[in-house]
Structures are given as C-alpha cells and as structure tokens.
Amino acid sequence: MAEQRVRVTQDSGSRWRRRAGEYDTLQEALAAAEPGDTVAVRPGVFREAVLLDKPVTVLAADGPGSVRISPPAGVPLTVTAAATVQDLIVEGSDRSLPAVLVTADGARLTGCRIDTQASAGVELGDGASAVLRSCTVANPAGLGVRLRPGARAGLQECEVSTAGQAGIAVLGGAAAVLDRCRVHHTGGAGLLLTGSGSGAELTGCEIYEIRGSGVQAEDGAVGRLTDCTVHRVTGNGLTLDTEAELLLAGCRIHDLPENAADLRGRARLRLERCTLHTFGRGALSVWDAGTEVEAEGSEIHSADGDYPALWVSDGARLALADCTLHDLPDALFVLDRDSRASAADCSFSRIRSSAVSVSGGATADLTDCRIQEAGTGLWFRDHGSGGLLTGCEIADVATGVIVAKGADPVLRECTVRGAGDAGVYVSAQGRGTFEDCRVSHGRGFGFHVIDGCRTVLTRCRTEQNGRAGFEFSEAGPVTEGCVSDDVPPPPPALPVPRTALPPAPALASAPPYPPLLAPAAGPALLPATARLTSAGPANATAGAIAPIPDCRPADEALAELDALVGLATVKQEVRTLIDLITVGRRRRQAGLKAPSLRRHLVFTGAPGTGKTTVARLYGEILASLGVLQRGHLVEVARVDLVGEHIGSTAIRTAAAFDRARGGVLFIDEAYALAPEDGGRDFGREAIDTLVKLMEDHRDEVVVIVAGYTAEMERFLAANPGLSSRFSRTVTFPDYSAEELLEIARAQCAEHEYALAEATEKALQEHFAGLERGPGFGNGRTARQVFETMVERHAVRVAQLADPSTEELQLLVPADLPL
C-alpha cells in the first residue's frame, strides 16, 4: 500500500457526509474534500500544482516548513475560493507566472513562505481579496506581491524580501492594508502605488535596503503610513507624481542618498510628527504648480550633502507648522514666481548657509519662527521676491536679513540679535518694510541700507550694535518713530531774544519739505538723525532716529513694590538684593572688589500671592540700576518649554531664554519640569538646557522659578548644577484675613464702591473661615469675592425704584457670598 500522506478531516457533523480519509496526493485529497473540511499534509515535497476551488483549510500537519509545494511548471498554488492555507512552503520556477494566484474573495494565507522565481510571489487577480498573516515572500525574478485592479489585500506581520522588482505593487484601483510588515532588499520600489483609486494603509511597517524609492505613488494613488520607517534606499524615500497623495504620521525617513521625499505633477504630501534626517540631497523637494506639502510637528535634520533641505519651485506650495530644522547646509529655498512657502512656530538652527532663501518672485510667509546659528537668517534675493514675517526671532547669525535686487518683504515685530555683520542689510534696489522690529547686540550695523533703497522703517529699535544702529549711505530710506541707543538726545534749544532774529525772507513758493521747527522757536540744532556715511545732505524723506527712552527710576518701582498688600518678608528680601547690587556697583567705581552675585531667584508659595508682580518689578528695578538691558518680563510654563519629540525641547527652551535676554525669564510652576514619575520625560531636557544657558549668559537674563514649596525642592534636585545657579529662595506667605480685606478695600476704591463698617467685619470673618488647601487662591480669592459682591449688589439695587448715589456704591453684609 502506498504511503498515506494527506488526511482529510470531516469538520461537519452531518451524517450524510462520508467519513474522513487519507490520500496519497494533494490532488486526490482536495478532490475528496468538501467545503469546510481540513486537509492536513504530512511532511514532504509535493511536485504538483495545487488548485483550491473549495473553501477548505490546507495546513502542514507538522508545522511550518515541513511541507513544500514545488511543481515543475505552472502556477504552484491557485486559490479560486475562500480557502485557508497554513504553514506551507510554495516554490515556483516559471518566470511568466505567479507562484501564488488568488482569484476569489476571502482567501487566507497564514505562516506560509513563498520562495520562488516567478513574475510575482503572490498575485491577487482582478477583484480578488486575501489576508496574509505571518508570511514571507522572496522572489528575485519579479514582484513580491502584486494586486491587480480592484483587488484587496491585508498583510499582517509579513516579510517581503529579495524581490527583483517592487516589493508590493498596488495597481489600477486596488487596495492594501499592511500591519507591522517588513519590505526589504527589493528593486524598483518597496511599495508601488499607481492608478486612480489605488491605495495602501501601512501601520508599524519598515521599508529598507531598496534599489529605488522606498514608496512610489503616482497617477492619483493614495496612501497613509503610520509609525513606519523608510531608510537605506538607493533612491528617494518617497516619490510622488501625477496627483498622488500620501499622509505620514509618526514616521521616520532617514539614511538616503537622494531626497527624503520628491514630489511633482500636482502630488500632495502631509507629514505629522515625522522625522526626516541623514539625506544626501534634500528632505523635501517640491516641484510644479499644484504640488503641495504640509508638515506639522516634524523634525528635519542632519543632511549629508550640500543641497537645501527644503526646495520649493515651479509654483509649488509648502506649509510648515511647529517643525524643527537643524544641522543643515541650507534650510528652505523658495524659487520661481507663484512658488510659496509658509512656516508657523518653527525653529531653524545650526544652518551653515541660509535658513530661508527666497528668489525668482517667490513668497515666504513666516509667523513666530526662530532662526539661530545660521549664516544668513533670511535672504530675499531679487525682484518680486518677498513675503510677510511676523513675530520671528533671528539670533547668532552672520547676517540677519538680506534684501536685494528689488525684493520687497514685510517684517513685523521681528527681532535680530547677535549678528556677526549687519542685522538687516538692504542693497541693489531692494526695498522692504520693517515695522516694530528690533536689532541688538550685533557686531556690525543694526540696519544697513545702501544704494538709496526705499526701505520703510516704522517704530524700529536698535541696541548695543558694534558699529551703529542705523546706517544709510544715501537718501532713500523712510523712517518713523525709530529709536537707537547710539543716538544722543538733542540738547535743548537756546533762547534767543526776538530782536536778534533776522526777518524771515519772503518765499516765492512753499518749501519743498516741512520746517523742522516752528518759526517762533528760533534757531536750534537739527534733531539727531540716522547716521550717514555720504558727505551729502541728510535724507530729507527719512524721519529722525530718536534715542531709546530711559526706563522709570528704581525708586518708582520700589514704591510700587512697597504699596503691595502684605509681603513684608518678600519686600525685605528684594531690598536686600537691591542694596547688595547697588553697593557692589559703588565698590567697583571706587576701585574695590565687588562680590559676584547670582541674581536668579526661587519664589515659593501658593498661587495668588504676588509672585509674578514682584518678578516684574524686580526686573524693572534691575534695568533702572543698569544691571539688565531692558528689564521686561517673559512668563512661561512647562507647555512653552517642553516639546513633543526629541530635540524640540532644547530649541523651545533656548527660544524662550532668548526672548528674555535683557530681562527676566519667569517660569511658573517650574516643578512641572521634573515630575515625580518623570522617567524619560522631556522636562529634564528643558532643565539641562536652562542650566547651561544660565551659565553661558549669566549677565544677560535673570531667571526666576516659582511654585509650591515642597515641589520646588524636587525641582532644584533634578539637576546637580541647578540649585547652585540661584542666589536665594524667597517665600511668599499666604495672605492673612486682614490682608485679604485690604485687597478687597483696594478693589472697592478702584471701582468706586464702598464697604459699610459691618460689611468689613463680616468680610474679614468670611476670609478667616475659608479653607486654605492647595486650591486656595489668595489674592485671586479676594478679587473673586469682590466680584461676587458686586453681582449681588447689582441684583439687590436693581429692585430699587430710585437708588441714591450712596446706595449705588455701598456694599452691605447681604452682598457677601453665601
């Protein structure tokens, strides 16, 4: 008797079915099997082509790798029904046919290995559907998996490798869903999507070692990749053409000789929380009108070549939001008319050449962006090139902004700090409009405008620039309300007796420009104007550059501090610090050694005790004493310093620190940067960055950290060098009932209300009875009580027919909160 190698198990309990049996060949077993049966195949090599035309299950009885289907010709495995194949090895040698052909709906392959030399390892015919789970496909002669038009496939934890052509090809309206799959060592593309309606959704997949593009989408195909990695390919990471669309979320694209993504022909790409790095040409290369890229919360860094990381040309569009770009030769190039790029809340740092370059009539719009450590911050190169930049910060660059050859951007509320040369340089008929912009601490000129360029400067400010604040070599620039620290205030006009005044000559016509002073004022010195290098007359169309106004005297700020309710110990601590600083300055003036004081402070106490107000006054006082340049307050919290991905926290923290240069950085609830269960929390990165910045720029910024007492002790222990950066801790006690009553009195006086004597007594008892837990609001509570009393007073007085002035003002005990 021949060896019985195939067993058919009758899964149905119907008594009309014949008994299960064993067969010598798969063909015999499958002929005998009926729908629902299981065909268990014992170990061996079967040299027969298998046709599954019934919904049966075929499996290797001894597990994966024990059964091989290897016919000499034809398709090794054809599935024309909703059958299941498990743990088989399928081998084929006909390069004109697929190794596995599925033409039906509902087929399943689990734990199978397709090792073949065929046109495709697995092919789904028109309209077919199949699920592949834990399968491997290797086909050096052709495609790995091919989906014909209308086919649908789900691949779970599968591996497609050593394919001579694309690893997975989705064609003509087919659709594929891949979950935790790997595609590698293939030719052409790892994933190929082509044809209108074709689509793929990948989750947790890896595409690598591809001789071509990682993902290629064209002709209207669409795809979505989530938590996927594309790396080590010989072409582009992503190639999109002809109205293709891709969405990537939480993906990584890196180690590429070409572009991370190349788009043309009205293709669209959206990146969410993605990382692109170590690319040979560019991160995003965007071409052609109608082609668009959007990137949000993404990071682009570490280019291997000398190309711009972002290239936008031929009318394409690029939009960035909350992205970081660093360690690049050039960051963003926008070229050609109708090309447009926008960036909001983005960071550019460590850029060897230009962070943003705009040419050929293109446009770049930037909002709240930060550029640091670059050759040139912004370069608008030629006629028609421009854009709107709002709230941008440029620091530590060779040149902050260059406007040349007819370019005409608009910059509003932007700052340039620490430029090696000019903060803003305009030449060769460049124009530019600068409103409320500030240039400081540069080694060259603040604003340097040559060639008679018609640049418009409105309410701009320059401070501590090495050469001059404003340098206009020829007539042309127009200024209004601009100030600079290198322009001395004009001396007052000397009174001259009227008899000494010569009669005014008659004029044949009106003067070409308005008089600088009214005629009755007599002769006076010309007000200080922008510095001019030419020997000719001053630019008549330019307004006067005024000196920077002084801040208010320290005594006024100290008087406001003393006027605050309570806080006696806090006031004493601040006065002690001020006295130490003042005496130290006098000792230096006398040629004596002065102690090196750390001016950074820790404020501890509950909310609503006046910590922010005292920090603001402390900054003003230090500015009036010449210790700080400006004395302004920048208030931040964890959300302003901690980013969502690696590297972004340091950039955000540095940006906040830079905004506070010359003033006070106030970090409220600083303990949130060091949570008890922090582990790998990015708050630690913010603390480490802050410690280094406080050391590197110790004389430029005062840092005040605030929060609850116990929690702040944990914060100071988060970094070994943190506590040593702060000179002392100032404790803000809770307000007493009497002090809360005083705050309420002040609120009444400010809003023209009055408290009856009985009301004051009841109000003090109310404050004394409040529970003072962690949520107690202190001064905020007093203001809330006052607002409630005003509301109850309004309800009560509204019922009176003709209330008197006293009744409109007086708050009585009945107005207290219940």
Tell me how many degrees the CA angle 704-710-713 measures, rounded to the nearest 5.
55
Q: How far apart are CA 670 and CA 658, in angstroms?
A: 18
Is the pLDDT score of 534 beyond 80?
Answer: no
Tokens of 258: 């070409």
Query: What is the pLDDT, as a whole number, of residue 597?
Result: 66
Q: Is the pLDDT of residue 546 over 80?
A: no
Per-residue model confidence (pLDDT) at position 328: 96
Lowest model confidence (mean pLDDT) among 290-294, 351-355, 597-601: 597-601
- pLDDT above 70 (res 163): yes
pLDDT at 563 exceeding the cut of 90: no
pLDDT of residue 497: 45
Burial of 751 (0-12, 13-18, 19+ CB in 10 A): exposed
pLDDT at residue 777, as a whole number? 57
Taking only the tens place, the pLDDT of each residue in 11-46 is 544 433 444 688 888 999 999 999 999 999 999 999
Mean pLDDT estimate for the chain: 85
86-90, 164-168, 348-352, 604-608: the lowest-pLDDT one: 604-608
CA–CA distances in Å: residue 561 to residues 233, 462, 583, 632, 781:
64, 30, 20, 16, 21
Greatest Cα pair distance, the chain, in angstroms, is 143
* Residue 811: per-residue pLDDT: 85
The pLDDT, as a whole number, for residue 527 is 33
Question: In whole angstroms, what is the distance from residue 633 CA to residue 703 CA?
Answer: 10
Beta carbons within 8 Å of 19's beta carbon, 6+ residues apart: 10
In terms of Cα–Cα distance, which of 253, 240, 192, 246 is closest to 224?
Answer: 246
When pLDDT is cut at 50, 70 and 90, the band that residue 324 belongs to is very high
Burial 117-139 (b: 16+ CB within 10 A, else e): bbbbbbbbbeebbbbbbbbbbbb
Q: Are 691 and 722 in contact (CB under 8 A)?
A: yes
Mean pLDDT for 430-452 is 94
pLDDT at 503 over 70: no
Instruction: Note the pLDDT of residue 730.
Output: 85
Sign of torsion, CA 555 560 561 566? positive
pLDDT at 594: 65
Give the residue among 276, 238, 229, 237 at the shortest CA–CA distance from 257: 237
Torsion sign, CA atoms 573, 599, 654, 721: negative
Q: Which residues pair with 188 in a beta bridge?
A: 212
CA–CA gap between residue 150 and residue 169 (Å, rounded): 13
**Euclidean distance between CA atoms 320 and 298, whole angstroms:** 9
Helix locations, 482-604, DSSP H: 554-563, 568-589
* Pair of tokens at residue 287: 């071409």
Both tokens of 372, joined, read 């640091």
Q: Is the pLDDT of residue 582 over 90?
A: no
Instruction: Specify the amino acid at residue 632.
Output: H
Q: Cβ contacts of residue 420 below 8 Å, gap of 6+?
A: 397, 398, 399, 442, 443, 444
Q: What three-state secondary structure class fits 381?
A: coil
Task: Tell me the C-alpha distance between 743 and 736, whole Å.
Answer: 11
Of the listed ranges 50-64, 274-288, 761-775, the one predicted with least confidence: 761-775
> Per-residue pLDDT tens for 666-725?
998 888 888 876 556 677 888 888 888 888 777 788 899 888 887 888 888 877 777 777
Quote the pLDDT of residue 724.
77
* pLDDT band, very low/low/confident/very high, at 590 (cuts 50, 70, 90): confident
3-state helix, strand, coil in the chain (%, to 5): 20, 35, 45
Q: pLDDT band for 480, please (50, 70, 90 cuts).
A: very high
pLDDT-based confidence at 774, cuts 50/70/90? low
Residue 577 pLDDT > 70: yes
Q: Give the three-class secondary structure for 534.
A: coil
Q: Is the pLDDT of residue 513 over 50?
A: no
In terms of pLDDT, which residue wins out, 770 or 25? 25
Instruction: Report the predicted TM-score, pTM, of the whole model to 2 decimal places.
Output: 0.67
CA dihedral 764, 766, 771, 777 (to 10 degrees): -70
Say which residue, 620 or 215, is predicted with more confidence: 215
Joined tokens for residue 265: 């022909």
- Average pLDDT on 119-143 reads 97
> What is the pLDDT averaged over residues 208-214?
96
**pLDDT at residue 314 tops 60:** yes
Helix (H, G, I), strand (E, B) or coil at 499: helix
In angstroms, the CA 146 to CA 768 distance is 78
